[in-house]
Amino acid sequence: MKLSLYQVDAFTSTLFKGNPAAVVPLEKWIDDELMQKLAMENNLAETVFFVPSKTEGADYDIRWFTPELEINLCGHATLASAFVLYTQLGYNKPSVTFSSKSGLLTVEKNGTNYEMDFPSWKPERINDYPEGIAEILGVKEILGAYKYRDLMIEVATEEEVVNAKPDFTAMKKTGEMIILTAKGNTVDFVSRFFAPTAGIDEDPVTGSAHSQLIPFWSEKLDKKRMIAKQLSKRGGDIICEQKNTERLMMGGECVFYMKGEFEIAG
């Protein structure tokens, strides 16, 4: 069996920046175990697979795998999938809709940007969070802890986000995937995302985390349209818009890196 693979840097206009995703288009689903093994072999934050959909209102069904497990939502790999469809596979409709474990996700091509319609996951403030989380993250003071899917920690300044030095061994023991965020200096808000429990110590740019970040900062800043930056080593830029209580938009550019091929015996 031969399968094509495309590697794309998402949420960036510069090669070797943003978040790399491995994109594997399929004609029909292959075994879950094989998809997980391919994701482990690729050893990127996510390997994404999609097939033509039979779901009403969808063009493709989509699934995402980290090196260790399948996840229910991934922004950068969805962005990369749309980019591959438009630039490599001849897709030419105004938008593409994916059916996923988080519902329908529509991506619209707008010039060089790809804008995704995603669920809005407004996190709620919590008081019961892992003991010593400030020390685990390597930050001075926590302004607040919030949660929807992931634990989100707010700190006072962009500099604290940049300078945080997490203890990933201790973090993994908490069982949490953690978003660290603050108001930005030159953009509306900044963040970093840590997921050692999913086999990713720090993710370069995380769309699913912005499903929580966008409603949080939209309310806090009283703004609908915002610009965000993820402050990983590679870095990434995200266009954000809170559409309503249920949906939001996040978008950015992508850069093609390579095309390859798997050849799997049997």
pLDDT of residue 138: 97
Q: Give residue 264's pLDDT.
A: 87
Whether 46 is catalytic is yes
- Give the list of residues 6+ apart from residue 190 with CB closer than 8 angstroms, or none: 158, 161, 162, 181, 182, 183, 184, 228, 229, 230, 231
**Catalytic residue selected from 27, 33, 46, 261:** 46
Binning pLDDT at 50, 70 and 90, where does residue 265 land? confident
The pLDDT > 70 percentage for the chain reads 100
**d(C-alpha 133, C-alpha 135), whole Å:** 5
pLDDT(239) > 90:
yes
**Averaged pLDDT for residues 226-232:** 98
Question: Which pLDDT value is given to residue 107?
Answer: 98
Summarize pLDDT for 72-122 with one digit per residue, the tens: 999 999 999 999 999 999 999 999 999 999 999 999 999 999 999 999 999
Q: Assign 266 a pLDDT band (cuts: 50, 70, 90).
A: low
**pLDDT tens, position by position, 192-224:** 999 999 989 999 999 999 999 999 999 999 999
Q: What is the pLDDT of residues 139-191, one digit of tens each?
A: 999 999 999 999 999 999 999 999 999 999 999 999 999 999 999 999 999 99
- What contacts 60, CB < 8 A, 6 or more positions away? 50, 51, 52, 53, 81, 85, 96, 97, 98, 99
The C-alpha atoms of residue 8 and residue 122 are separated, in whole angstroms, by 29
- Averaged pLDDT score across all residues of the chain: 96
Name the CA radius of gyration of the chain, rounded. 18
Q: Which domains does the chain have, with CATH numbers?
A: 2-115+251-263 (3.10.310.10), 124-242 (3.10.310.10)
The pTM assigned to this predicted structure is 0.91
